[in-house]
Every structure is written in C-alpha cells, then in structure tokens.
Structure 1
Amino acid sequence: MFGGPLSSIALMLKASHRQIMMVGGLIAAASAIASSFAPNIETLIFTYGILVGGSLAVNYFAVNVTLGQYFLKKRALALGIATSGRGFGTFLLNYLSTKVISFYGMRGTFLILGGLFLNLTVYGALCRPLKPVIKQSPNISQNEQTSVNEMAGATNLGFEEEENKETRDEKCDDSNRRISEDIEPLPKVLRVRKSITSERVPSEIYNRKLGESFKLYVPLYAVSVGLSQEKGALIMSIHGIVGIVSVLLVGFMADIMHIPTSHLLMAASLSTSLGSILVPFCESIETLTLCAAINSIGTNFTISLRIVLISAILGRESIATAYGILSTLTGTLYIIYPSINGFVYEATQQFSVVFYFNAAITFLGSVLSCGIIYAQKTGKFVE
C-alpha cells in the first residue's frame, strides 16, 4: 500500500502509468525468480517481501488510477469487473498454492510466480493512452475542429503521451481563442473541488484492513471450535466467490440502479461490521460461511467504491494524488493493525474479543462515512 507515493513520484518524473506497470511487472518477475535461489529467510525478506511487494504495490496503484481515468460513465461497473479478479485469486490460490508447493517445492513455486508476474508487463503494454474527442460544433470549421482535437489529445489526464509529439504553430492560438466559446463546457463532475479533501473517504481505510484481519482470524477460529483446517480454507474460498459477485453487484447498483455511492459505502461498512460481530456466535461451517459472505460483501463493496468516490469528490484530475494519500494511510494500518489484533488476543486469549474489536472499528468507519453522505446531499460533489 505504500506503493501509492512511489507511483506518484514516478508520475512526477514524467513516467506514464503504462511504463510503471510494465517496469513493475518485470521487477516483480525478476525478484520472484531470485527468491527461488534465496539461501535464507533474510534474503527472502528482501527479494520477496520488499522487491516483489514494492513492485506489485506500484502496479496496483497504477492499475486503479488507470481504471478511474479510462472510464467516465459506468465507472463503478467497470471497476467492479476489473477487481473481480481479487475474488478469483482468493478462491483459487487457497488450494492452488498448497498443491503447487507440495508438487514443485518452495523454490519451484517462486519460479512459477515469476512467470505469472510477467503477465503484468503484458497488461501494461495494453494500457495505451486514450485521446479525448471534443464534440463537433456546427459553428466550427473542419480545420478548426481538428486543431481543437489536437489540443485535447495533448491533454494528459494522467497518461504520458507517447506518440506523435510535435510542436504546434503559434497561429493556432488565435484560432483557438475564436472558437473557445463554441466548445461545450466540461461536465460538473470533472471539475476539481479544491475545498474538499480525501479525508472524506475514511471508511475505506477501516474496511480494507478489517477485511484482511477477517481472512486471517476466521480460519484460526474455525479450528478452535473443532473444524478442520480444510474447512477453514473452504470458508475463505467461499469468501472469495462472494467477493467476485459483490464487486459486480456494486457496479450494477451504482451505475444501473443509480443508488448513491455514499449510501453504498455506509452499507458496506455496516456489512463488514455485522460479519465480524456474528462470528463468535457461530460454531458450524454453515454459520461461519454466512458470516464470511456478509463480511466479503462489505469489504469488496468498499474496494470498488474508493476510486469512484475519490473521482466524484476531487475530480478525475486528482485521482493519482488523492489515491496516493489514501494508500499511504492504508499501508500504515497494514503495519499497525496486525500488532493491535495480536495484542488483543494475547491479552484476552479469546478470538471473540478480536472480532468484537474489529466490528467496533468498522462501525466507526460507517459513522465517519456520514460525512460523505452529507456532502453529497448538500451538493458538495456529484457523481
């Protein structure tokens, strides 16, 4: 999650999102392959923990920002489709990684991971910059319209233009001034609201970290109540399947049913909290699976909504900066929160207290999300 600021620095140095993704994929692949030759755990901490983790982090950030800038209409649905891979990964890798390790060993598994990471480079190569096209006005001649579209093509929108960089004649300035009144103004949603900060999306920070804690502690709790490790893994696989459906559902609800995303965010926070608070009352695989499903809906709703809300509140031009700040805050919790959960369990020796604590923190996120609902109702931002 600390990859957000790293990507922002790379963008400031005139690197494009496409270049960041391709280089990140190459570094991740090379580092995973190097991990297969690691002689000790200290080397793995560097090659896999830092190098692979860091390169995947900048890739993760660049992909999310790219999605937010590629789509103006139906953005929530597009992000839901794109992030559904997260659910597929949770579903498949629980079992696949175990099978691969048992058959190829740890060193062979690192080599296979290196090959998988190379696909990130291929994906980055496909993310070509898009040129916005300005609608033709009947009062503008074809030559003048071409000049305007060339100017629009020069607008970066977060992508570094990589092709046909030519200097333009100063004569275009006079022509552009004459036609400026005939060009339709940008929609209100694209205007940057400088008075509103990224602090208006607080529950994303809580939900993201709480989702990871849930996936860590539910299998342990399942074993503690007499279920097998295989059933604990099955519960988390179902958690992933529900996540696939959730990210698609939130896009449908936001873009097709036109439910305000601020309301969906509060509902997601409450769902995450409910899934955690019910776990201590469950002792069967059926009831724990239900809790996992409720938690997965809330967590994955939040993951899909963060870019949508950042874009709506601050404008598409500010996605990279705002998302970088949000990623930094989330990354900080990734460092702090596992220790807090561990301290809570060691102090009480009860998993139930850990889940109650997680539910309380997530509920706090739903309370803070009231600020987003208020801002939307008072017209501070529109979707």
Structure 2
Amino acid sequence: MPFKIRNPVELSEAKTVTEPETELRPPDGDWGWAVCFAAFMTNFTITGMTSSSGIILLALLDLYNESISKTSLVGSIMAGGTMFGGPLTLVLMAFKVSHRQVIMLAGIVSSASAIASAFAPNVETLIFTYGALVGLSLAGAFFSANVVLGCYFTTKRALALGIANSGAGCGAIVLTYLTEKSISYYGMRGTFLLIAGIFLNLNVYGALCRPLKPVIKQRFKIPESRRNSSDEKKSVTNLGFIPEDEITSDAQSEKSVPSSEYIIEEIEEIPNTLQMRRLSAFSEKTPSDFGELKSTFADRSMYKNKYFYLLLFTFLFWSVGDSLFIYYPSYAKSVGLNREQGALVVSVFGAVCTVSQIITGILVDVLHIPNIYLFSASLFIMCLSIAFIPYCQTFATVVLDATIISMSYSCGIALRIVMVATVLGVEKMSAGYSILSSMIGIGYTVYPLITGNIYDMTRSFAFVFNLDAAFVSVGILLSFGLVYAQKKGKFYN
C-alpha cells in the first residue's frame, strides 16, 4: 500500500520512478474567501458603474443635447466591452501576464480613461474614452476575478460565485445612488473624476488574488528489504509518513500505484518560473505563448458540442435584460417620476439582485436543483415581467416589477460560469466562459442600440419593452434544448 509523505525525506536507497509532477489544488476555502471578497468588490465596482449608465445617460442628454440612441452608445459600449474580457485576458496571458496583474492593470487604465472623459468635448469622444477604453480595460478585471474564484473552489463553487456576483447588486444599490448625488452636486464632468478614483481601487482587489501554491508530486521505489522491515517502516513513518488509518481514501484513489512505490508530496510556492506561469496562478490552462493560446481556443471537442452553441445563444437573448439598466431611469421620467426616483428603482433592482444571487447558489449547491432548470424558469419569469413594464405607471408598481425582473435576471448572472462547467466540463471552463462572455458582450452592445433607434422613431417605451420581451422569449425556447439535455444526462455534472 502506498504511503504519502507530507515533506520530502532523504531515502538513500530510494529510486525515482517518475519525473516530478506539479498541479494546483483548490483549497475550497481558507484564502479562497479573501479571493471571494476581491471578486465581490470587483463585481461591485464594475457592475455598479454599468448599472449607473441610465443615470449617466440622463445627465449626458442634458450636457450634449444629442439623440438618445447616440448618447446611449456610451453606456452600452462600456457594458458590452466589460464582457469581452475572456479573449483579451488570454491574449495577455501569452505575454506572461497573470490574472492578478490583469486586474491591477485594469484599475490603472480605466482610471486614466475616466479622467480623460471628464474633458471630453462631445459624445463621440466619450464613446471612445468612457465607452471603449473603460469597457475593455474593465473586461479583463471582470473575467479574471470570476475565473480566479472559480478555480479556488470545487464543491462550494456555486455558493462562492453567488456571493461574489452579489457584489454586482450591491454596486447597483450604492454606486447608482452615489452617481446621481454626485451629478447633482458636481455635474457630470466632476462625477467622471470621482469615478476614476473608484476604478483605481481595483489595484487593491487585484493584490488580494495571490497565486495558488502548487503541489509537487514524485514517486520513489523503495527496495523490498526496506519495505519488509517493520522497524525501518516505523522509522520512516516517524519522518513524516501519514499513518495508515489516515490515508485510506488516498490509498483507494491510487490503486494503480504498485505497492513498492511511495508517493512523496510537498506543497511549496514556485515564484517566477515557467511552470508556475503555465499553471497561471488561477486558471486550469492559461496559455504561456501564442501556440498554447491557439490550442486553448482550437479545442475541437468544445466547438463540436451542440449544447454549447445552445448555451451561447440562450445567453445572447438573456443579455437583453441589461438594457433595462440604461432605459429604466428614462422610462421612470416619462411616467412622471424624477431622476432621484429613477435612480432608486435601479438601486432596488440591485438590492434584490444581491440577495437573489446568494439564494441561487444555495438552491444549486444545498438543495441540488439542476442549474439548467433554474435558469430556464428564470427566463420565463423575466419575459413576463419585461412585457408588463408599460403597464407600470406609479412608483410602487415600477419598483415591484423591477424587483421581479431582478430576481429572474440575477439567476443568469450567478449561473454563467457554473453552466459553462456543466456543459463543457471544468477543464474547458476558462475558454468556454471567455466565449460566452463575448457573446453576452455583443448583446449588451447591440440591444441598447436597437432599442434606442426604435425609441427615436416611435417615441414609445412600450414598443421597446415589448420587443425586449420578444427577444427573451426566443431565449426561453432555446433553453428547452438545454433542459432536455440535462434530463438525458448529456452534461458533465
């Protein structure tokens, strides 16, 4: 029976059987909760500011007097850009940049871009500085923070991601309200300077995402004479062997190892080595060069998986829900509410989103409700709620409907990474989630542009929201295919 050694000991008669193997083992807790906090605050900052797009839109309309379709591009491109972080981050990995460095770099670039936005002379400049530059820089931080957390947990992954993603709701509560107050006191240009300071805090959150410590494994062959000696076995045990009654599970998982082989394991951090970079501090397979980057996205099994395409297009139609952040304040103003009440509606949206994502994690991890079933049901509820928006003419009814939409929309936010791992497997989670994020980013960018032009032509929010509900209904139909596959056991877990 093989023994496991916590610390390598010098065995003069041992012979090496295999080369050392290095792997990352998620702690499923411990420092992982500090990383969970960093991911929470990253989501708080990024999603909180994208949720403020509707309030910023009203201020920009007053400042530049442009059409709503053109001005809304500032917020929609920023929101869409934050979802293109997967491919962008993996390209940076080819230059030996870690996820930790990506988050910190995003803090510097986004802060500088927000400062430049304060001096923008027109909407076109803002589309570039605040829309494109801020959006793309935050994209890397958003992707890295969530992938980091996903790789720090295994059995508690859905719960940890639910907690971290609830930061998006908290950001919507706090930052939307602060943005509205800041615009009232300092104007839009002064508010951009305050936003720059908020983005700079990403450097602190990135610093918390320290590298995982790899486990080095090497097998040695112990001579028969030494193995058969009880005295020798006892002396070796005293040097660090785990007693036999403590390694039953390990022994069972290593049945393929001959009885004459001993597995020696040491946990240590290997800073600044090629192998550590390849393990990437957080992701299962982070490319260290362009050849590995190409192989990451050239996995044929991933592109041959028809259910992965169903997942992509289902989330493409789900992403229409983000346009509500942009148009809710404008709709509230159109029914007689003031800008502060419009900001309060978005804050309520975020508050419910915070609680709902944690509940989603509990439903999946504790009550074991299949995540595909839960997501499909949430799409149906979201579709009905969006279609009902035009009938909400008072502050109370607007808040009630926003609450229901938030509960259903947040389910998709909490389950994005979990569903990718379900459909493709954990080993393809990083590449799969980067593609899914890009698809969602397309939706975040395109839908506000479509609905903005429709509003300019019809001057009717009712038509806009009915169209949004129609898009979500297509996502419902696509989700039925995923439900069928889940029922038939086509997925990994």
**How would you bin the TM-score normalised by the shorter chain?**
0.7 to 0.9
Give CA deviations for 1:4-24 in whole Å, capped at 9, x if unaligned. Answer: 221121123332211211222
The 5-angstrom pairing of residues 190-201 of structure 1 reads: 195-196=304-305, 198-201=308-311
Among residues 450, 466, 487, which one is paired with 1:340 in the alignment?
A: 450
Counterpart in 2 of 1:222?
332
Task: Verify the 8 A CA contact 2:176 2:347 in the aligned structure 1.
Answer: yes
Counterpart in 2 of 1:271?
381
For 2:277 and 2:153, the matched residues in 1 are separated by 12
Task: Verify the 8 A CA contact 1:194 1:314 in the aligned structure 2.
Answer: no
Task: Verify the 8 A CA contact 2:116 2:129 in the aligned structure 1.
Answer: yes
Give CA deviations for 1:322-373 in whole Å, capped at 9, x if unaligned. Answer: 1221222222223321222123334443222211111111111111111211
Equivalences, count: 353
For 2:127 and 2:93, the matched residues in 1 are separated by 27
The 5-angstrom pairing of residues 67-146 of structure 1 reads: 67-131=149-213, 136-137=250-251, 144-146=262-264
TM-score, structure 2 as length reference: 0.65
Once the two structures are overlaid, the 10-residue window that deviates more, 328-337 or 249-258, is: 328-337
The 5-angstrom pairing of residues 103-252 of structure 1 reads: 103-131=185-213, 136-137=250-251, 144-147=262-265, 159-161=279-281, 195-196=304-305, 198-201=308-311, 202-208=313-319, 210-252=320-362
Give CA deviations for 1:132-151 in whole Å, capped at 9, x if unaligned. Answer: 66974387799943358789
Do the aligned partners of residues 158 and 239 (structure 1) sit closer, same or farther apart at CA in structure 2, a change above 3 Å counting?
Answer: farther
Task: Verify the 8 A CA contact 1:4 1:324 in the aligned structure 2.
Answer: yes
Do the aligned partners of residues 347 and 47 (structure 1) sit closer, same or farther apart at CA in structure 2, a change above 3 Å counting?
Answer: closer
Task: Verify the 8 A CA contact 1:36 1:108 in the aligned structure 2.
Answer: yes
Matched, 1:253 2:363: yes
Do the aligned partners of residues 369 and 152 (structure 1) sit closer, same or farther apart at CA in structure 2, a change above 3 Å counting?
Answer: farther
Counterpart in 1 of 2:98?
16
Do the aligned partners of residues 364 and 24 (structure 1) sit closer, same or farther apart at CA in structure 2, a change above 3 Å counting?
Answer: same
Do the aligned partners of residues 77 and 132 (structure 1) sit closer, same or farther apart at CA in structure 2, a change above 3 Å counting?
Answer: farther
Among residues 467, 478, 483, which one is paired with 1:368 in the alignment?
A: 478
Task: Verify the 8 A CA contact 1:278 1:291 in the aligned structure 2.
Answer: yes
Do the aligned partners of residues 142 and 288 (structure 1) sit closer, same or farther apart at CA in structure 2, a change above 3 Å counting?
Answer: farther
Among residues 386, 389, 405, which one is paired with 1:295 in the alignment?
A: 405
SS of the residue 1:145 aligns to: strand
Give CA deviations for 1:274-326 in whole Å, capped at 9, x if unaligned. Answer: 11011122222222211111111111110111100101211222122112212
Counterpart in 2 of 1:378?
488
Counterpart in 2 of 1:173?
none
Do the aligned partners of residues 293 and 324 (structure 1) sit closer, same or farther apart at CA in structure 2, a change above 3 Å counting?
Answer: same
For 2:456 and 2:124, the matched residues in 1 are separated by 27
For 1:219 and 1:259, the matched residues in 2 are separated by 35
Once the two structures are overlaid, the 10-residue window that deviates more, 140-149 or 192-201, is: 140-149
SS of the residue 1:257 aligns to: coil
For 1:87 and 1:309, the matched residues in 2 are separated by 20
- In structure 2, stretches of 5+ residues that fail to align are 1-82, 218-248, 283-300
Do the aligned partners of residues 21 and 142 (structure 1) sit closer, same or farther apart at CA in structure 2, a change above 3 Å counting?
Answer: farther
Counterpart in 2 of 1:324?
434
Counterpart in 1 of 2:289?
none
Counterpart in 2 of 1:178?
none
Among residues 287, 294, 304, which one is paired with 2:414 in the alignment?
A: 304
Structure 1 residue identity aligned to 2:152: Y
Counterpart in 1 of 2:26?
none
Structure 2 residue identity aligned to 1:355: F
For 2:270 and 2:380, the matched residues in 1 are separated by 43
Instruction: Tell me the C-alpha RMSD between the 2 structures.
Output: 3.1
Structure with the largest fraction of strand: 2
For 2:147 and 2:131, the matched residues in 1 are separated by 24
Structure 1 residue identity aligned to 2:98: S
Do the aligned partners of residues 348 and 118 (structure 1) sit closer, same or farther apart at CA in structure 2, a change above 3 Å counting?
Answer: closer
For 1:64 and 1:261, the matched residues in 2 are separated by 18
For 1:97 and 1:56, the matched residues in 2 are separated by 18
Counterpart in 2 of 1:188?
none
Task: Verify the 8 A CA contact 1:200 1:369 in the aligned structure 2.
Answer: yes
Task: Verify the 8 A CA contact 2:99 2:281 in the aligned structure 1.
Answer: no
SS of the residue 1:146 aligns to: strand
For 2:177 and 2:419, the matched residues in 1 are separated by 34
Give CA deviations for 1:160-204 in whole Å, capped at 9, x if unaligned. Answer: 259xxxxxxxxxxxxxxxxxxxxxxxxxxxxx8775353131322
The 5-angstrom pairing of residues 15-94 of structure 1 reads: 15-36=97-118, 38=120, 42-94=124-176
For 2:359 and 2:118, the matched residues in 1 are separated by 39
Shift of 1:31: 2.7
Shift of 1:130: 2.3
Task: Verify the 8 A CA contact 1:8 1:320 in the aligned structure 2.
Answer: no
Once the two structures are overlaid, the 10-residue window that deviates more, 354-363 or 12-21, is: 12-21
Among residues 318, 330, 350, which one is paired with 2:460 in the alignment?
A: 350
Once the two structures are overlaid, the 10-residue window that deviates more, 75-84 or 373-382, is: 373-382
Shift of 1:106: 4.1
For 2:214 and 2:481, the matched residues in 1 are separated by 33
For 2:96 and 2:260, the matched residues in 1 are separated by 33
TM-score, structure 1 as length reference: 0.82
Q: Percent identity?
A: 45
